Amino acid sequence: MAQILDGTVVRNKILSDLKPRIAKLSRPPGLAVVLVGDNPASEIYVRNKIKACAEIGIESTKITPSADIATEELLSIIEGLSKNPLIDGILVQMPLPKHIDSRRVLEAVPAEKDADGFHPLNVGHLVAGRPGPRSCTPAGVIELLKYYHIPMDGRRAVVLGRSDIVGKPMALMLLQENATVTICHSHTTNLPDYTRRADILIAAMGKPAFLTSEYIAPGATVIDVGTSRITDRAEAARIGKEAEFDRKGWALVGDLHPVDVARQSTAYTPVPGGVGPLTIAMLMANTVALAEQHLKCTA
């Protein structure tokens, strides 16, 4: 029977390890979260991030501009946070309203306060193998694999997806662990030819239950980063999620077919409860590391 890789257990370990580091600082780390508008999903994500801050002793500041804010006004808010010596990390919750220049906004966050690890300078540090904040979701995946003692050195890893937030940094982090990495994407032909050779398969496509047993090598470790909401009961029943659907009126599913991945793999992350908890944990880790660096420089 396949082993379930429980992200909540790893999250709790990461947060527990951060507490003594925070206790050694001359002040609590400070994280500013900018939430533009009233996107319900974003509000939930931000609420969970602020809850995690309170849990381990990080001071959080929530800024909530209206959805019609102009790009220049939002840049002004970020500039103010950048100059605040009590703010160690800045996070701009995505997605932003369509009229806002998201790239300009993300790049306005100083690299030394980039809690998400998205700034081009920090991406460059990742490429060069230098220390710096890392993109939270792929960093969490690496911590998960290490926690469960799943070897990466010399293993064949396939990453499905090439986004700047997950796919590309995930591939780079696996390379740093000496895995042999292949990136597949929407233009890859004969996809099963690649995925069925993977010792470690990481899916970040956003296609609900797309990957069935034909894509999974027997005995592979499978990490499911995708999260989609199923609102059709017939679809939920097709993938074995009818009980969840009947209980809530909807069901969450990842990129992997949940029945097939449990049957075909050696170990896998569930959805929910797999990678999701680790993203926030690594945001906390980035914030603490940034605070340590700032306070070391001002000591």
pLDDT tens string 205-254: 989 999 999 999 999 999 999 989 889 999 999 898 989 989 999 998 99
Question: What is the rounded CA–CA span in Å between residue 109 and residue 297?
Answer: 19
Task: Answer yes or no: are the C-beta atoms of 286 and 117 closer than 8 Å.
Answer: yes
Q: Specify the pLDDT at position 40.
A: 86
Q: Specify the pLDDT at position 97.
A: 94
Residue 141 has pLDDT above 90, yes or no: yes
Task: Answer yes or no: are the C-beta atoms of 133 and 169 closer than 8 Å.
Answer: no
Average pLDDT, the chain: 95
Structural class in CATH, domain 136-278? alpha beta
Q: Specify the pLDDT at position 271.
A: 93
Question: What is the rounded CA–CA span in Å between residue 95 and residue 35?
Answer: 9
Coil/strand/helix, residue 250:
coil
Q: Which amino acid is at 199?
A: D
Per-residue confidence band for 105, with pLDDT thresholds at 50, 70 and 90:
very high
Active site residue 49: yes
Active site residue 88: no
The catalytically annotated residue of 114, 116, 199, 224 is: 116
Q: Specify the pLDDT at position 39.
A: 87
Mean pLDDT of 61-66: 96
Identify which of 293, 288, 295 has the alpha carbon closest to the alpha carbon of residue 21: 288
Active site residue 93: yes
Say which DSSP state 155 is in. Answer: -
Structural class in CATH, domain 26-112? alpha beta
> Which tokens sit at 251?
């069901």
Q: Specify the pLDDT at position 296.
A: 87
Residue 299 has pLDDT above 70, yes or no: no
The catalytically annotated residue of 88, 93, 114, 255 is: 93
Domain residue ranges in the chain? 26-112, 136-278
Give yes or no on whether 26-112 and 136-278 have one common fold: yes
> Which tokens sit at 299?
């000591």
Question: What is the rounded CA–CA span in Å between residue 287 and residue 87?
Answer: 9
pLDDT tens string 175-216: 999 999 999 999 999 999 999 999 999 999 989 999 999 999
